[in-house]
Amino acid sequence: MINSIITGTGMYIPDFILNNEMLSQIIDTSDEWITSHTGIKERRLEQRKYNYEMLGEASRTALKNAGLNPEDIDMILISTCVPDYNYPSTACFVQNYIGAVNAASFDITAACAGFAFILDTADVYIKSGKAKNILIASGEITHRLADYSDRSNCILFGDGAGAVVLSACESDEKQGILSSYIKCENDGRKLMTIYSKSYEPAEIFDAETKIFKSGAEKINNSFITQNGREVYQFVVRILPQMLEEVTSRIGIGIADLDYIILHQANKRILDYLIKKYDLDPAKVPINIEKYGNISSATVPVLLHELNMAGKLKKGDLIMLAGFGAGLAYGAAVIKW
């Protein structure tokens, strides 16, 4: 039996801190309001590095943690909403940055659920025998997408990157990724959208003049737009469904989990989960107060923090789960 096990974790968090008091100087808000509505006290913003460099630093830490060299990596999968370039893929830039000369590299975009999607994809490659060591990483510079005149959105987002090394392990005992689940709901763009490069489709050929045109019309707003209330309703509806589906596949209940590492979108969602299943709050770790919503990077960043703190013990059952625009969502249960 080939298992996909996590052999290394890593993260990169920028130095610059944007706290709630600083935000209150540019928009009509306050530390009390932001904290009570989101649980966020501060977020980090990257000022000097490209996204691929953040991802590269997180990846180097994960490789060191795994005891592997860049040449040992067969594949690199990157999740990001904020690529530095349209092409090549961000994964190719990360590959060059860390010197992983033997890797195939590509990106997967699934917004805040991105880490769940690259984890699921990597698991398939490893269990099929097509790869032995896969580096997966999520990195976001979300402040590039935030409208700092929109107080409902700009208070949420921060920057950072997290990485994991998945390795093949042959064993008679089931370990590593025990179960995974990814899904998307139709027509989610109504709730959360960012236009690409501020353009929308338009005719490229004028039949009367027989002249080609630019083929696109400018859109003024290319920032994150979302219906926060509807997104929250979506999350509290699909979250139990997702968690119960991925645990039932391996014959366990949510109460059997040692940790649920959930996408850090809003503390209210985390509190909802704790209350619904009457969980020990220690089982649902939170770091949103320090970093805000780092989109797809929140899960691997929190996983690395727990790993470095020595809180993850051999045999622990850990849920990793994310949700976001699409509307996309996914989860996995791993045996540490």
Secondary structure, 3-state, 234-253: HHHHHHHHHHHHHHHCCCCC
Does one domain contain both 16 and 164? yes
Does one domain contain both 147 and 200? no
Does one domain contain both 6 and 67? yes
Instruction: Please state, in angstroms and rounded to a whole number, the distance separating the CA atoms of residues 118 and 108.
Output: 7
Structural domain that includes position 211? 194-223
Does one domain contain both 117 and 243? no
Tally of structural domains, the chain: 3
pLDDT given at position 171? 87
Does one domain contain both 49 and 28? yes
Phi, psi of 111 (to 5 degrees): 55, -135
One digit per residue, the tens of pLDDT, for the chain of length 336 reads 899 999 999 999 999 999 999 999 989 999 999 999 999 999 999 999 999 999 999 999 999 999 999 999 999 999 999 999 988 999 999 999 999 999 999 999 998 999 999 999 999 999 999 999 999 999 999 888 888 888 878 899 999 999 999 999 998 888 999 999 999 886 655 666 666 555 556 666 677 777 776 555 555 556 677 766 777 888 889 899 999 999 999 999 999 999 999 999 999 999 999 999 999 999 999 999 999 999 999 999 999 999 999 999 999 999 999 998 878 999 999 999
Catalytic residue positions, numbered:
112, 263, 293
Does one domain contain both 45 and 118? yes
**What tokens appear for 215 in the block?**
């083929």
> How far, CA to CA in Å, does 8 sit from each of 149, 200, 300, 303, 304?
40, 41, 11, 10, 9
Does one domain contain both 45 and 161? yes
Q: Is residue 65 classed as helix, strand or coil in its secondary structure?
A: helix
Does one domain contain both 330 and 205? no
The number of helices, as runs of H, and strands, as runs of E, in the chain is 9, 17
pLDDT given at position 1? 87
235-280 pLDDT per residue, tens: 889 899 999 999 999 999 999 999 999 999 999 999 999 999 999 9
pLDDT given at position 20? 96
Domain of 76: which CATH number?
Answer: 3.40.47.10
pLDDT given at position 6? 98
pLDDT given at position 251? 96
Does one domain contain both 206 and 124? no
Write out the DSSP string of 74-111.
-EEEEE-SS-SSSSS-HHHHHHHHHT-TT-EEEEE--G
pLDDT given at position 196? 58
> How far, CA to CA in Å, does 90 sit from each of 15, 249, 324?
22, 33, 20
Instruction: Please state, in angstroms and rounded to a whole number, the distance separating the CA atoms of residues 196 and 139.
Output: 18
Burial (CB < 10 A; 0-12, 13-18, 19+), residue 291, is buried
Does one domain contain both 163 and 288? no
Does one domain contain both 53 and 20? yes
Does one domain contain both 163 and 201? no
